């Protein structure tokens, strides 16, 4: 029997590989291999039926040497402390790759929001906020949306935190609605950032959008907006999956129609959409999607999707990682050997945290930017990130993931060195 996937071990393995390549000082390596702080909290909630359920929640800060901790909060039944630690470490590298002044954090609650009422989710969110309030704050650690959390959840976090401190503190959280200190463009930022990185990559390879077939795993915040932007650019989206199954249409899925369908679906799912062949099992649909004959494959859902089980069968020329940690290190080796160009998560999905940074800056200054400025600044940062990583990859003759890690780990390690170890 194979050992179960452990994201924290995967994150450490990735760090070890780059530390080796950089000949990183073992003392700096040791510091970066540990999370600064991990808080485990119990979140008791009086459910609608009067019963008390106690959920387990986490907030982990991996490193704050380059600035306050930053990272999302996810609600999912499979959340574990090790997963949250891994995601916190990945946030440290992600912020460093695009050179925004944050360290890395992540949070999560083990729960199944699909089977909870809105009232239950609100109570859980407010109690979680009050439990982690001792370590979050606009100068300390700024949460944001992640899997199954959204602007409404961010509003409850902001409100609860503000009640505690006695004044409105919009800078405590990003991904808020625009009406209460959120930023224009934040909701679609991760998808837009992934599109910008893919555009640079395709231009570099001389690929034209009209000749490009794309398969996307996940149709939530990231996959949905990524699909929309690529569709508008002229790519053909031939497959989309989510937890309810997958839609396959070799002449191209009508993405705006699918988005309308999902927006009107009671659980925001693609099930029931008629513009393609529907495979009604997520497992079967994902198996088919991963090995489809396409030019671009975009895993935009969860970690551990491209593994040694399917890497050898992937036909895409480019893999763009909208999700965090979708490719295991062993699968990475197989993809590289086969010449598949992987645009790594810490670069490809950094658009979300980048516009989160813009939101935080706007909140702290109480001056708000228009959409053109957001798009312009995001484009500048994503293109610069791509170019910086590509330059290292070409110089070192290494994969883009290794190059992105070299850039990020170097930046963080340099900050650690300047600051020294207290006391």
Residues making contact with ligand GLU (CB under 6 A): 70-72, 94, 144, 146, 174, 324, 349, 352-353, 356
If the CB atoms of residues 87 and 314 are measured against ligand GLU, the closer one turns out to be 87
Q: Say how far residue 112 (Cα) sits from the centre of its chain.
A: 19
d(C-alpha 401, C-alpha 423), whole Å = 34
Neighbour tally for 17: CB within 10 Å: 15
In the numeric block, which tokens belong to residue 303? 């970690």
What whole-number distance in Å separates Cα of residue 318 and Cα of residue 294? 9
- 10: its two tokens: 């995967």
* 214 neighbors 296 (Cβ within 8 angstroms): yes
Beta bridge partners of 298: 216
- The residue (of 247 and 353) whose beta carbon lies closer to ligand GLU is 353
Q: Would you call 254 helix, strand, or coil by DSSP? A: coil
Q: Shortest gap between Cβ of 423 and ligand GLU (angstroms)?
A: 30
Place of tokens 């950094």: 350
Q: Of 61 and 356, which CB lies nearer to ligand GLU in the complex structure?
A: 356
Map residue 19 onto helix, strand or coil. helix
Helix axes 371-396, 351-365, angle to 10 degrees: 140
In whole angstroms, the minimum distance from the beta carbon of 87 to ligand GLU comes to 7
Q: Are the C-beta atoms of 64 and 103 separated by less than 8 Å? A: yes
Residues serving a catalytic function are: 106
Cα atoms in the Cβ-side hemisphere of radius 13 Å centred on 114: 9
Pairwise CA distance, residues 56 & 110, whole Å: 6
Pairing status of strand 52-63 against strand 103-110: antiparallel
Of 98, 190, 221, 184, give the one whose Cα is nearest residue 372: 184
């Amino acid at each position: 029997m194979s050992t179960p996937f452990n994201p924290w071990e995967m994150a450490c393995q990735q760090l070890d590989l780059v530390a080796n390549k950089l000949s990183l000082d073992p003392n700096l390596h040791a510091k970066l291999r540990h999370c600064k702080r991990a808080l485990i909290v119990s979140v008791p909630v009086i459910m609608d039926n009067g019963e008390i359920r106690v959920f387990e929640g986490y907030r982990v800060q991996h490193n704050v040497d380059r600035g306050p901790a930053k990272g999302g909060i996810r609600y999912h039944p499979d959340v574990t402390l090790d997963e949250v630690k891994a995601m916190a470490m990945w946030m440290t590298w992600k912020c460093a790759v695009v050179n925004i002044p944050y360290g890395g954090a992540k949070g999560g609650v083990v729960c199944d929001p699909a089977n909870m009422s809105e009232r239950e989710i609100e109570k859980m969110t407010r109690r979680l906020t009050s439990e982690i309030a001792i370590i979050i704050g606009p100068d300390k650690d700024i949460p944001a949306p992640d899997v199954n959390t959204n602007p409404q959840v961010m509003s409850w976090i902001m409100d609860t935190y503000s009640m505690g401190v006695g004044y409105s503190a919009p800078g405590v959280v990003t991904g808020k609605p625009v009406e209460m200190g959120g930023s224009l463009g934040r909701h679609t930022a991760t998808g837009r950032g992934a599109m910008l990185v893919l555009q640079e990559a395709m231009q570099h390879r001389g690929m034209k959008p009209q000749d490009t077939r794309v398969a996307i795993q996940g149709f939530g915040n990231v996959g949905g907006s990524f699909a929309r932007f690529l569709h508008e650019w002229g790519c053909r989206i031939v497959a989309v999956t989510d937890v309810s199954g997958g839609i396959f249409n070799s002449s191209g899925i009508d993405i705006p129609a699918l988005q309308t369908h999902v927006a009107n679906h009671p659980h925001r799912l693609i099930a029931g959409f008629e513009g393609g062949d529907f495979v009604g099992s997520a497992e079967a649909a994902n198996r088919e999607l991963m090995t489809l004959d396409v030019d671009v494959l975009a895993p935009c859902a969860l970690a551990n999707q491209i593994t040694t089980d399917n890497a050898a069968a992937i036909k895409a020329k480019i893999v763009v990682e909208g999700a965090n940690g979708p490719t295991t290190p062993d699968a990475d080796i197989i993809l590289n050997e086969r010449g598949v160009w992987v645009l790594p998560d810490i670069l490809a999905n950094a658009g979300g945290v980048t516009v989160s940074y813009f939101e935080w800056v706007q909140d702290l200054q109480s001056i708000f930017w228009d959409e053109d400025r957001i798009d312009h600044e995001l484009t500048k940062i994503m293109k610069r990130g791509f170019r910086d990583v590509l330059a290292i990859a070409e110089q070192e003759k290494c994969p883009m993931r290794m190059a992105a890690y070299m850039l990020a780990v170097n930046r963080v390690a340099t900050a650690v060195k300047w600051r020294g170890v207290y006391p």
